[in-house]
Structure 1
């Protein structure tokens, strides 16, 4: 498997991981027909940039280690999730923005009033996904669960009062599982980008050009909207 990098004049196959928790709807689903927002956008970027890619399935807790050891070459991340030290890591460079993602404090409606301020989580137990970044997780006690689905189930079972989860994932699993939830304070809000090893920085111009072209064509927004429409079709409680 190879392709010719238009700008670098070399053959390269970039390995990447997008799986998140594995139950990361709508961003990654594992379904070949509807793989998720991340796989669809990345495939469009690679095709447009004329770069060959290979998806490597990894649990979230192994992604960073795999980047550092070179088992994979890039992933998708929001710098809003990262501490300043992590954002400034010289091992990585970042692409132009793909699209925006917001994460919230999410609880059952009866507890919602308590979690309207981000400062409310300081010193408290907070539901998180194993292996995920949380820029302020030194301020609260992480209670790690395997996936976004398990976070919503933990709320339903009253194992804890509040979790951190992306807005779209919360909406999907709330409706899919029949669990009413409420959004509290925003925990992070930022643009997702491709985070790629510094040694491939010479590929950024063609990656960024592909992203620009796909934005101009409306491809990225249409992929995102397709999955939002799927969520909106699920009956509400």
Structure 2
């Protein structure tokens, strides 16, 4: 009888313990670093890591999911996800060819933030790039390992990161590049170069792309994202970084 009483006394404590235990028995692995210079989304600065690291950490915390970030070269991220070495990344469906947007290997979360990708060029060349159709058959600056939904229509000229791509643009190694709008503004400011925007190449929400085998975690992830939006947390994080991206003026 005394043992039974002690066991009953422990039950509330056990319930509290399990309520705080991770939803997933095995920690997930993920990558959101992209090229490592994808400001403002990822900065490679531990003190101010970028929009995505700050948001993803809060989403995982809110969803009670244990996970760790894995640093990978950009060109390996997709392969590692396909081979299930990592469990999720962050992507915009607008970056993918339409044939890949319903891949049953993955499930996608609620929207995180908008991302706009532009044709970026130097001011004197801006008139040549006011339509996305102008990319066809041309050499276009891109980032190694990145998705571009129409890259079968132009010749990719890959660079290791946005910083190196923008540097190449400033030196006329390429006339046009595909770069996120905020990222282009930031690196133009850092590199003290003048740029112009041509046509918009893609625009859509960034979402978490999760392996389908973990789809049971998606409702908790989505609820955490909704909570962060409703609390204004995601907007505040965006504002914190976007103020430092610069402008064309």
Scaled by the length of structure 1, what TM-score is found?
A: 0.94
> In the alignment, is residue 24 of structure 1 matched against residue 38 of structure 2?
yes
1:165 aligns with 2:183: no
Q: Deviations over 1:97-145 (max 9, x none)?
A: 0011000000000000110101011000000000000000011000000
Residue 139 (structure 2) aligned to one of 113, 118, 125: 125
Give yes or no for contact 2:183–2:245 (8 Å, CA) kept in 1: no
Deviating beyond 3 angstroms after TM superposition, the runs of 4 or more aligned structure 1 residues are none
Aligned equivalent of 2:203: 189
TM-score (norm 2): 0.89
Q: Distance in 2 between matches of 1:80 and 1:68?
A: 19
* Alpha carbons 1:91, 1:197 under 8 Å: kept: yes
Q: Distance in 1 between matches of 2:140 and 2:105?
A: 30
SS of the aligned residue for 2:244 comes to helix
* Per-residue deviation, residues 22-63 of structure 1 (Å, max 9, x unmatched): 111111111110011110010010011111110000111111
Question: Aligned Cα RMSD in Å?
Answer: 1.4
> Is the 1:25–1:36 contact (alpha carbons within 8 Å) kept by the matching residues of 2?
yes
Q: Which residue of 1 aligns with 2:8?
A: none
1:212 and 2:230 aligned: no
2:63 equivalent to 1:49 = yes
Going from structure 1 to structure 2, the CA distance change for 1:82 and 1:3 (only over 3 Å counts) comes to farther
The equivalences for 1:54-93 within 5 A come to: 54-93=68-107
- In the other structure, the counterpart of 1:152 is 166
Aligned-partner Cα distance in 1 for 2:191–2:115: 22
- In 1, the alpha carbon distance for the partners of 2:171 and 2:83 equals 39
Long gaps (5+) in structure 2: 1-19
Gaps of 5+ in 1: none
Deviation at 1:3, TM superposition (A): 4.3
* Offset, 1:230: 2.1
